[in-house]
Amino acid sequence: MKICDELSCTGCLVCADTCKMQAISVKKNRQGFSYPVINDAVCVRCGKCVSVCPVNIQKKIRPLQRLLRAGIKIMKKENQQRLVAFLHVWLKNLWKTVE
């Protein structure tokens, strides 16, 4: 299992802090940046490390950001009631994305 691409990793190590099995160790690359390495013998593949990774969350949120921009255009052209309905759906999708 891979948490995120090593080059994209921010080095925040939220993944390691989240792992209850302590299956994630920290290594440093040539440039000295920390990145997580999963011990497959200990990992139970629950996926929590992947779900809390800010790199992965950002990838999921980008399409929702585009949708929000579309909603703002609706606000300028349509009535507020339609915008409220749109934002309700958008926030519901955002919540599902980051869970």
User: What are 54-92's pLDDT values in tens digits?
Assistant: 888 777 777 777 777 777 776 666 666 777 777 777 778
- Entry pTM: 0.61
Whole-angstrom Cα distance, residue 35 to residue 11? 5
